[in-house]
Structure 1
Amino acid sequence: MKRTYLLAGAIALMMSWPTMAQDAQAIKFASTISEQDLEKHLNYLASDELEGRDTGEKGQKLAAEYLVNFYKELDLKGPVDGGYLQKFDLTSVAWGDIHLQVGKQKLKNNEDFVFIGDGNMNRSAKADLVFLGLANEENLKNVDVKGKLVGLWAIGGRAQTVVKDVMDAGAAGVVIVTMEGQANFDRLANRYKSLSGRGRLGFDTPTKQEPVFMVSSNKMAELFGSSVEELKEAAKSNPGSIKPQKATYQVKKEKKTVSTENVMAYLEGTDKKEEVLVISSHYDHIGISSDGQINNGADDDGSGTVSVMEIAEAFALAAKEGNRPRRSILFLNVTGEEKGLLGSQYYSENPIFPLENTVNNINIDMVGRVDYEYQDAENKNYVYVIGSEMLSSHLKVINEYNNITYSNLILDYRYDAEDDPNRFYYRSDHYNFAKHNIPVIFFFNGVHDDYHQPTDTVDKIEWEIMKNRARLIFHTSWDLANREERTPVDGSNTRTER
């Protein structure tokens, strides 16, 4: 999008509002967000001492303690009955033994397949493995799936949706392909392997007998004694041409309770204090790999967490000097994001402040690095902006106006497309606010080779770029907290299901 268009759009909308010139107070307090302070906080949060901040583990608890002490020093309030921690329990689910054999081939867990379903079986079961391909009405009419393991070719589709359709049709379980290329699958399998010793965290739910085994496209072809190209063609309209196979499988489930906590600090507003702006990040990461390497998570999302801290400090200093915001602000550092946006889900279902009074969520997840798209660019002062115009016609323009007025970053919207194959919109905590029709902005730097790797370390952070992003987020937040009218909810949430 051309900068002239952004400027024209921003000015046209702002002409009807009482803010036009630079705000000297906003500039003053934005300048307190410094590279030195960002680095100081991140050096601790992404240190080996915190062991990758895995949800429910010692490092996550140490990070929570650090955040609480920081907010106390700022004289920000603890909004949870006077405290800063919103505590809740998760359930860790591990599968002690997962067995899958097709024909004479015994498949290895987290190598030949990854288990993404649910189940708990006292003994192994036998079933035919049939190929359905696409889970459309025509294929389901022509292939008998009742009591069978069903091979699904779900590349480009939603795995959750097609699995439900097939299980509802009476299938005993599913063997599914969701991505092409062995390398893509191997990366996923390695991640599952690194997490396998700790179990899968989530909210406690009744066990479903729904065994779902994910395999690569190459492995699926091997299991059916076919080629990838033959399966692709058969998946569309002729799945019966693929010969069924005999399969044996078993899943054993183990459960334990894991306690964790969101961290939050509250700055009360003045004349509009009942309305609340939420500025969020997740402070958890993925912990220690199975080979003992620490995943420090400096960018993901240490960068967002220390940005929230510095933004909180800027607002707190402003309040102490008599520049308290009109609306209240909740600084929210959530846990369990890496396990499925669990901390933000818990908050949105158990809000400290009513959701109807929550005017916006500004979410910061990975803002300390430069990604593949910009690594060779002359101007690296960019940030990806996601979700800003879906629910409110004003929010995107407000952010653009503040960027033009104060920051002059490149605002890149490429990942805001509804058909973004990366599905970044669904992969961070703003999602759990947007699904309740709260207008959101998600700030993001994109992925890089160190994403979810032990190499995501502090020495690779781009401090000046990170500072510039944090200052833009502060300016936009200052504007949202102080303008006369809250941003209207005049759009439709077209992305409601993950």
Structure 2
Amino acid sequence: MRSIASICALTMLTACSQHPVTVSTPVNVTFDESRFRQDIKTLSSDKFEGRAPTTKGEQLTLDYLSAAFEEIGLSKPNGNDYLQAVPMVTYTASDEQTIRLGDLALKHRQDVVLGSRHDVANIDINNAPLVFVGYGINAPEYEWNDYQDLDMSGKIAVILVNDPGYALPNSGKFNGKAMTYYGRWSYKFEEASRQGAIGAIIIHDTKPASYPWSVVENSWTGAQQDLVKSEEEQAQRVKVEGWITHDIANQLFDSAGLSLATVSDRAAASPINLPLNQTASIAFANQAQYTDSYNVVATLPGNSRPDEHLLFTAHWDHIGVDSNKEGDQIYNGALDNASGTAGILEIARQFAKQAKNGHTLARSVTFIATTGEEQGLLGSRYYASNPIYPIDKSVAVFNLDSTNIYGRTTDYTIIGKGKSELENYLIDALKSQNRVAKSEKYPESGGFFRSDHFSFAKEGVPAVFAGGGSEPVDEATAQYKAAMKLKMKGCYHNVCDEYREDWDLSGALEDLAIYYQAASTLGNNNDWPGYFADTEFNALRPAGDTLEQASQ
């Protein structure tokens, strides 16, 4: 392993200097790499205990962010503090579970992960029929309904991950290789609930899921947060939801006299549902606790149109601590997403510094560090439904989630590229760095639906999730990236996502500059970007609209 000193000597990268980095923007701005690095290091330290919502780690995080925004000089939206309460309920399923699918007695965590979003002391399901419902999709616009003519009352849906476009990318179905929202786990549980099922179980498969079983085991066990729902909403939710391994699914289908591979092919070709002629019995203890968590919201008011807001978002939360693990039990979440949270702090400092020098934007800039992203975008969903500033006066969202630790690149990734006019501001800003914008390398992972910007997109606010790239700026950076990729392999939602002194943050700083420059331009003009005609959000805020049209 090379030391940070040897990497610097080899690559001559500015981030290695441990001094402020100046980047090209409309007004000369200095991003402080050492301060950015320290924020990441502190937020992801063991002291913060993995930053799980409603824990000691949350309080430490709220205090840290509030103090930072106070020092920067940003306004408190509610006048008293920077906090927006997010009513949450924490569900904890016991690790002692009795689960039988057909003739298979399953082991919790090893074979299956199940939980419940119901405020009941015990889950006790006996002999519930299992029904294979393909991809579990009901999408009239695609002429697709896996639940056609099916009564799911008292039954458990068994569902494939992703959507038919992934399996048949050249068929014209859905969006080809790029995942649609119908491929997301959250949608599948919601749709099974709407169909009246008592349970929903997704078959895990690493490639179409885009993550290994370890992510399921680490992310869906232990305390699970959700937004507090009405009694009616909660009553409609499936009683149990979760995942089984692909190997267990193969055995289950074999017992039903079916081939999982064969029925999966059929499910990709056309809607399907069929009984597995087997039942499930599931029992475990369950707890529900109600506690507020918090978004942290801070604003730099605009000088002439302060009611119009540009939003920067990054989730401060991670998975917390798992006392059942041997060895390291803390999910520090350094890359995901202490790095993004540190990013909005650094951008906020630059806007505030420029404002003090007389360069305040016409529009306001608001920074939102969200809670509960790892549990289903909870904080951003709550803000989008209960905005401090009106959604129809929210001009755009710039989201930071897991910034670039792999060095500078000649390209720049826009997740879900082609969604909105907001992307044009990024593309224009890239010219100052001689970089080009590209789509993500693996659109089948559904990245556009997996972070906080999506909560705002569903409300019609143009939102981008961008940064990094796949082409290193030179051979030395390529070698560093390859070595660091090996070190970070398997660390997504795992305890090894820890801060590393040898991270090259020069690429992350360049990405911050792109966001800063794009927001600076949009913050001083009269543009009101919208979604392009061929996107699912066009009807909410069409491209080409004026402010008055967008607000209607």
**TM-score, normalised to structure 1's length?**
0.80
1:491 and 1:304 map into 2 onto residues whose CA distance is: 30
Equivalent residue of 1:262, what SS? strand
1:141 and 1:487 map into 2 onto residues whose CA distance is: 39
1:331 and 1:183 map into 2 onto residues whose CA distance is: 30
2:25 and 2:411 map into 1 onto residues whose CA distance is: 25
Aligned residue number for residue 463 of structure 2: 440
Aligned residue number for residue 202 of structure 1: 227
2:367 and 2:66 map into 1 onto residues whose CA distance is: 11
Q: For residue 435 of structure 2, what is the amino acid of its counterpart?
A: L
2:190 and 2:532 map into 1 onto residues whose CA distance is: 33
Aligned residue number for residue 313 of structure 2: 280
Aligned residue number for residue 303 of structure 1: 339
1:331 and 1:283 map into 2 onto residues whose CA distance is: 12
Q: Given the alignment of the two structures, is residue 115 of structure 1 paired with residue 114 of structure 2, yes or no?
A: yes
Q: Given the alignment of the two structures, is residue 408 of structure 1 paired with residue 434 of structure 2, yes or no?
A: yes
Q: For residue 414 of structure 1, what is the amino acid of its counterpart?
A: E
Q: Residues 214-252 of structure 1: CA distance to partner in whole angstroms, max 9, x if unpaired?
A: 322321221343599823324538999987235423354
Measure how far apart 1:81 and its partner are.
Answer: 2.7
Measure how far apart 1:437 and its partner are.
Answer: 1.1
Q: Given the alignment of the two structures, is residue 365 of structure 1 paired with residue 401 of structure 2, yes or no?
A: yes
Q: Residues 23-71 of structure 1: CA distance to partner in whole angstroms, max 9, x if unpaired?
A: 998342x2x2121221122221121111111112112221221111122
Aligned residue number for residue 156 of structure 1: 163
Aligned residue number for residue 493 of structure 2: 452
Aligned residue number for residue 444 of structure 2: 421
Measure how far apart 1:83 and its partner are.
Answer: 2.0
Aligned residue number for residue 5 of structure 1: none
Equivalent residue of 2:89, what SS? strand
Measure how far apart 1:330 and its partner are.
Answer: 0.6
Spell out the pairing of 1:19-418 with structure 2 (5 A cutoff).
26-28=26-28, 30=29, 32-96=30-94, 98-115=97-114, 118=117, 120=120, 123-129=124-130, 147-153=154-160, 156=163, 158=183, 172-179=198-205, 186-192=213-219, 196-205=221-230, 206-207=234-235, 208-226=237-255, 230-234=259-263, 236=266, 244-290=277-323, 291=325, 292-370=328-406, 380-387=409-416, 389-392=418-421, 395-404=422-431, 406-414=432-440
Q: Residues 467-491 of structure 1: CA distance to partner in whole angstroms, max 9, x if unpaired?
A: 1111121111111111243335664
1:134 and 1:163 map into 2 onto residues whose CA distance is: 11
1:336 and 1:216 map into 2 onto residues whose CA distance is: 25
Structure 1 pair 130–348 and aligned structure 2 pair: CA distance change class (3 A): closer
Q: What stretches of structure 2 of length at least 5 have no aligned partner?
A: 1-22, 138-143, 165-182, 470-484, 539-552
Give the stretch that moved more between structures: 327-336 or 109-118.
109-118
CA RMSD in angstroms comes to: 3.6
Measure how far apart 1:144 and its partner are.
Answer: 8.2
Q: For residue 383 of structure 1, what is the amino acid of its counterpart?
A: Y
Equivalent residue of 1:369, what SS? coil
Q: Percent identity?
A: 25
Of 494, 512, 515, 1:473 maps to 515
C-alpha contact 2:132 2:275 (8 A) present in aligned 1 = yes
2:402 and 2:276 map into 1 onto residues whose CA distance is: 47
Q: What stretches of structure 1 of length at least 5 have no aligned partner?
A: 1-22
C-alpha contact 1:185 1:216 (8 A) present in aligned 2 = no
Measure how far apart 1:342 and its partner are.
Answer: 0.9
1:138 and 1:24 map into 2 onto residues whose CA distance is: 51
1:212 and 1:435 map into 2 onto residues whose CA distance is: 24
Q: Residues 277-302 of structure 1: CA distance to partner in whole angstroms, max 9, x if unpaired?
A: 11111111111234242222221111
Q: For residue 399 of structure 2, what is the amino acid of its counterpart?
A: N
Q: Residues 381-401 of structure 1: CA distance to partner in whole angstroms, max 9, x if unpaired?
A: 543213564233xx2222211
Give the stretch that moved more between structures: 468-477 or 209-218.
209-218
Structure 1 pair 101–276 and aligned structure 2 pair: CA distance change class (3 A): same
C-alpha contact 1:367 1:443 (8 A) present in aligned 2 = no
Of 452, 456, 464, 2:506 maps to 464
2:318 and 2:276 map into 1 onto residues whose CA distance is: 44
Structure 1 pair 399–103 and aligned structure 2 pair: CA distance change class (3 A): closer
Q: For residue 40 of structure 1, what is the amino acid of its counterpart?
A: Q
2:192 and 2:378 map into 1 onto residues whose CA distance is: 27
C-alpha contact 1:152 1:174 (8 A) present in aligned 2 = yes
**TM-score, normalised to structure 2's length?**
0.73
